[in-house]
Structure 1
Amino acid sequence: MSIFQFKEFTLKQTDSAAKLTTDATIFGASLPFSENVSAALEVGTGTGILSLMLSQRGRFAIDAVEIEERAYNEASLNFQRSPWANRLQAHHVDFNLFYAAAKNKNKYDLVFSNPPFFTKNLQSPVTREKNTAYHTNTLSFKELATGISLVLKDSGEAFIMLPAYEMTLFVDEIKMQGFSISHILKIHHSLNKPALRIIHGFSKHETEKPAEKVIYIRDENNEFHPGYIELLKPFLTIF
């Protein structure tokens, strides 16, 4: 589907290699943020879905970085067509260059990303955009962790979504930057399935026990789980 209609905005996803996923909508609907957030940054926005969902939930400005030109153009269009165009700005730039700019250092209260995570998998010989969207060719976990440390305010938080194993690799990198885990959210397809994705919140303030939450997409009858329905009700037209 090239056009996806949400309750308060429309998402065009014709050109971006990274299409809309269920776990991305859960990330956008569940990511916790402080009332004091005034400026946020998304790393690797793709279609712009996460930034759009957070714009519906909050009132802060969001910069969204995207290295692929077609995805950047699509995200820009989705932002312009949304009710929050004045608070959303896409940037066609490599995150490594973005965080190296002095003006972007220690600027953001919130950073969030659903980053590329394949490191050793076979890649497409013909579709460069998909390789960039899903593989760590242009943004390694070390580079992502380093960039977050530079652009995030000391009082800020970063939220990252990855598969379970890849999250352990990223945690190792960001802990080297002085961060600890502040939030843990596990997304399961159903009650008896292992976690499909892990969302971690990171902060430079030591947390004795991270806040933990579990989201199930389907219940024991393979119907949408009540918790999933309640979470996505403000966004999806099927609820």
Structure 2
Amino acid sequence: MANTFFKFKQFTVHQELCAMKVCTDACIQGAFTARYLVDNQITVPAILDLGAGTGLLSLMLAQRTLAAITAVELDAGAAQQATENFAASPWANRLTLTREDIRKLDGEVKYDFIITNPPFYESALKSGHAQKDQAMHATNLSYKELLAAIGRQLAPLGSVSVLLPYAVFETFRELAAAAGYHLQEVLYVRQSVNHGFFRTIGIFSAKKVNPIIQELSIYDDSNVYTSAFAALLQPYYLYL
């Protein structure tokens, strides 16, 4: 049986109420996004986490920034779990959970930065597990609806971090460009140096630039973490 929690250096993520557990690619997104903000000296007073799940991404950004973070989650179990994970963290005073359908957010409050690990697959075989399907597939949320929600909530000069499968990223990129959001920086992720890309993390904003392109392999050919992966996750993983 899988652990019901995942312990990081500065916080613990309990996950027994969540269909989608802590996974390496989400950890990479959190670490990559936090590094992007820190390295570029981007100070944002408030961050929005769309589809918070366990609250992992919010917690990772809270560790590396001083922002107030609002996380939005529709699923009741995940919303409860994230709320409890936030309360137990060192940054409880900066973390807020709202249980809501992101399509119903009114856009009254604008955020300078949004992070989202959205439902992955718009057309794929589903597991038959309704809660997991909602978390993994665009069962109730299309990419166009996600971009519309981002458009309502993101400040004009703001940026958004998105994690998607490599196979569908270019489709999302085209939809984002049509909505006025252009790729600033991208990370293509491999399971190992012997595999093809399987995940992509993109940072988008309204600014048109030639994007910075990076690649990351999690494991080397000896099935050991690569130095690049270890350096990226070192602020978070216990044994790095």
Which of the five TM-score ranges fits, normalised by the shorter chain? over 0.9
The two structures have a TM-score, normalised by structure 2, of 0.93
**How many angstroms does 1:121 deviate by?**
2.0
Judge conservation of contact 1:179–1:203 (CA < 8 Å) in 2. Answer: yes
1:91 counterpart = 2:98: yes
Q: 1:56-205 counterparts in 2 under 5 A?
A: 56-98=63-105, 101-104=106-109, 107-125=110-128, 127-205=129-207
The aligned counterpart of 1:226 is 227
Which whole-Å deviations, capped at 9, do the CAs of 1:154-197 have from their partners, x for residues lacking one? Answer: 11111101011221221122111111111111111111311120
Which whole-Å deviations, capped at 9, do the CAs of 1:8-29 have from their partners, x for residues lacking one? Answer: 0011010111111111111111
Q: Percent identity?
A: 36
Structure 1 counterpart of 2:142, one-letter code: S
For structure 2, the residue ranges without an aligned partner over 5 or more in a row are none
**How many angstroms does 1:215 deviate by?**
1.5
For structure 1, the residue ranges without an aligned partner over 5 or more in a row are none
**How many angstroms does 1:113 deviate by?**
0.7
Judge conservation of contact 1:41–1:112 (CA < 8 Å) in 2. Answer: yes
Name the Cα RMSD after superposition. 1.2
Structure 2 counterpart of 1:142, one-letter code: K
**How many angstroms does 1:102 deviate by?**
4.4
Q: Counterparts of 2:231 and 2:107 in 1: how far apart (Å)?
A: 42
The two structures have a TM-score, normalised by structure 1, of 0.94
Judge conservation of contact 2:192–2:218 (CA < 8 Å) in 1. Answer: yes
Q: Counterparts of 1:183 and 1:35 in 2: how far apart (Å)?
A: 14
Structure 2 counterpart of 1:84, one-letter code: W
Judge conservation of contact 2:20–2:132 (CA < 8 Å) in 1. Answer: yes
4+ residue segments displaced more than 6 Å: none
| Number of aligned residue pairs | 233
